[in-house]
A = this chain, B = another copy of it.
Amino acid sequence: MADKSRRPLTGIREVARLAGVSQGTVSHVINHPERVAPETRQLVETVIERLGFVPNRGAADLRRGHSRMIGLILPDITNPFFAEVARGAVAAAAERGYVAVLCTSDFDATKEENSLELLEEQRVAGVLVIPAGQVPQRLARLRARDIGVVLVDRAAKSDEYCSVSVNDVAGGEIATTHLLESWPTQHIALVNGPSSIRQCSDRRRGCRKAIRAAGLPPEALTEVVMPAMTVAEGVQAGQAIIDSGRLPDAAFCTNDLLAIGVLRAFAAAGITVPGQVRVVGYDDLDRGHDLPIPLTSIRQPNYQLGHRGSELVIAEIETPDHHHERLVFDPELVKRATSTPSLAARWQSPR
């Protein structure tokens, strides 16, 4: 508890000196304890303990030629979806003794590139990236440097990268099928975001597939496309549906925010859910649980995405002859009152 002489209570060298052994031996007790005589080891460990010595990972990494950091680039850590991915990624990394360096792109391709550069400078062992838009060009350079790369929430096109993603076509299909099967349905509204977002077009594809499978004609589906996927847009979409004069039996909203907006518009117009129209969303946000009527939704294995993603990069890094893998998860339906008349009863306002 003294003043510790001000100098970086440094290194392996000091430990060696105090223990009366060589640096090499100290290094061994740290990295290959078994190669050292029990008593020497014991001695060294005691000194390490007494000095409060903590090895300098950076120096070790430099010497070894590779680090134990993995970079994580995502658009917005505040988004529950990405946060969950991050949680899985950080957990898996920690399990394997890696630390995660977090970068945020704010959906900005430039920031994304900058982050990639920073991570390259740090010589991270690998990166997990949830691209904000296009798959960043710069990833190629990282790969050239033998930095592991895995795309998250986006299937790799070619076999250039590993990727973990979830099957949005299946999600759209599941949602629609549920609507179709749980109650007689002739007319479905699809409330969607811009087709330029892959998720949106994939989910639409699944939706159409289900309709076809049910033997319904394409006209059974009416699509409302909104420029953004917020509650406000949802309200507008809901209003548009109402104004169209032809109320659908059910509405599949491509995300929960849109669904919440639609629900709001319906409530304001006195349209009952699920009585007149059944609704399902996508993402299974917590926000959807406490609505006047809890929202049926599609849940994605977000934590798994991140977790398996980390495992994949690490495998890619540690395995000499690595084959790129493309993992695709399936989403899952979570039934709630908004699509299920029987569940809805208890939610109707009392009295």
A interface, CB within 8 angstroms of B: 4, 8-9, 52, 54-59, 61-62, 65, 67, 69, 72, 76-78, 80, 83-84, 86-87, 90-91, 94, 99-104, 117-123, 141, 144-146, 231, 260, 264, 267-270, 286-287, 289-292, 349-351
Contact = CB atoms under 8 A, between A and B. Distances in A.
Contact of A77 (B4, B56, B90): B90
A286 B9 CA distance: 48
A90 B62 contact: no
B90 A102 contact: yes
B90 A120 contact: no
Contacts of A52: 141, 144
B290 A231 contact: yes
Nearest to A286: B287
A332 B335 CA distance: 37
Given A54-B145, A77-B83, 6 more contacts: A58-B61, A72-B102, A80-B80, A90-B104, A99-B119, A264-B290
A68 to B, nearest CB: 9
A8 B77 contact: no
Given A77-B77, A121-B55, A286-B287, A100 B101 contact: yes
Nearest to A59: B62
A128 to B, nearest CB: 12
B99 A99 contact: no
A102 B86 contact: yes
B121 A54 contact: yes
